[in-house]
Amino acid sequence: MQIYDLIIVGAGAAGLLGAGTAAEKGLKVLLIEKMEKPARKIRISGKGRCNITNTKQHDDFLAHVYSNSRFLNPALRNFSNFQTIEFFNSLGLQTVIERGERVFPESGKAWDVAECLVKWAKKSGVEIFCNAKVKSLNIENCRITGVNTNFGNSEKTIEAKYFLIATGGISYPLTGSTGDGYNFAKQAGHTVTDLHPSLVPLKIKNHNIQLNRLQLKNISLSLYVDGKYVDDEFGEAEFNRTGITGALALRLSRKAVSAIIAKKHVEIRLDLKPALNCEQLKNRIAREMQTVTTNYALLCKMLPLQIVNIFAEKANIKLQNRITDADIEKIIASLKNITFEICGFNGFDEAIVTAGGVSLNEIDSKTMRSKILENLYFAGEIINLDANTGGYNLQIAFSTARLATQSIAKQLKKSF
């Protein structure tokens, strides 16, 4: 029976990067993927464009990582976001840096990122089995000896010296992320923390469907929990049929979701004119009043038409009335603060990433090796690390996978 040096379960970002790294170091690697092709999630990420990473400096990068950013420090220093850019460029995938220091493929196609990784892994010598589902681990004497799989119409046990679980979380389950890895981790004796969606749309209480598809640019969005300020973001937001999404809402969603789960009162407050203070807004309104006389005409000058009626309702002004000093004060106050109560969040099928996972206390951050089974390693979304939108989560996958497989290669050399 053939025995591999390394079996990796899950052919996503972490699995592919880890497999290629190990194969380049001379390891005999098998990459097992239950879907019909590798990298399904990469192919749809970033709305089909794939935000590969970003150009944040080390400490700034870690500031956007949860639940314990210090855990990522060794992996990120070993394989940084800048090294990731160089890596893809060396494979012929050119990249561009866009607003927010986000890095995308020059082609604008996530598919190109996925194919680049797959081709590199195969060229490096990785065997990839697709449509192969791992059912369980074989464990003997504190070591994994093999994985039990359904491959085609048959069941078989495949053996290896080392194992890397890189199955992702449970976000976007249609891409294959259905939580299998958590079951393997539990079988190996690991603790899996509570799981919940992150980078996910938020639901607004008594949401007005008229706001559906409204896009707002250059606004500020603040998160309040039990009436206390928590965080804010500047940029773009979008309303959907149940609430609010877009970059700002997604970045605030992790803290919002945690607060909702804790049954706290959650609000988001919109500043529609963050670049202007109250005095500047008063001057702007004075200029507009040279050509308009009603509240409706004034608001049409200052806001997207789609939000005018709802804004007037929240500001408690009558649209057809002539503009009064009292109305001006209400308009200014509402432009700087429209409040929506958040009553929930969408599910894992709409979440970009899973918060929670294999406990960091049970993984060696310097090697990504399990502290329970000596030949088991973890990488990517399966572990209890997640981050903001902006290329952070893919970089976590790349960095942890690189460190894990380099560590495995060192262990194999020591055994000779």
CATH assignment of 202-345, given 3.40.50.720, 2.60.40.790, 1.10.8.50, 3.40.50.300? 1.10.8.50
Note whether 3-196+354-415 and 202-345 share their fold.
no
Give the DSSP per-residue string, 222-243. EEEETTEEEEEEEEEEEE-SSE
Rounded CA separation 374/163 (Å)? 10
pLDDT for residue 131? 94
Rounded CA separation 403/18 (Å)? 8
Encode the chain (416 residues) as per-residue pLDDT tens digits: 679 999 999 999 999 999 999 999 999 999 999 999 999 999 999 999 999 999 999 999 999 999 999 999 999 999 999 999 999 999 999 999 999 999 999 999 999 999 999 999 999 999 999 999 999 999 999 999 999 999 877 899 999 999 999 999 999 888 888 999 999 999 999 999 999 999 999 999 999 999 999 999 999 999 999 999 999 999 999 999 999 999 999 999 999 999 999 999 999 999 999 999 999 999 999 999 999 999 999 999 999 999 999 999 999 999 999 999 999 999 999 999 999 999 999 999 999 999 999 999 999 999 999 999 999 999 999 999 999 999 999 999 999 999 999 999 999 987 65
pLDDT for residue 151? 81
pLDDT for residue 416? 52
pLDDT for residue 1? 64
282 CB contacts (<8 Å, ≥6 apart)? 328, 332
The ranges assigned to domains in the chain are 3-196+354-415, 202-345
Interior angle at CA 358, CA 115 and CA 198, nearest 5: 65
Fold designation for 3-196+354-415: FAD/NAD(P)-binding domain (3.50.50)
Question: Tokens at residue 114, please?
Answer: 């996925």
Interior angle at CA 205, CA 199 and CA 210, nearest 5: 90
pTM, to two decimals: 0.94
In angstroms, how far apart are the furthest CA atoms of the chain?
A: 87
**pLDDT digit string (tens) for 311-337?**
999 999 999 999 999 999 999 999 999
pLDDT for residue 134? 97
pLDDT for residue 415? 67
Alpha-helical regions (H) of 95-175? 110-124
pLDDT for residue 414? 78
pLDDT for residue 313? 95
Q: State the CB neighbour count (10 A cutoff) for residue 131.
A: 13
CB 135 within 8 A of CB 148: yes
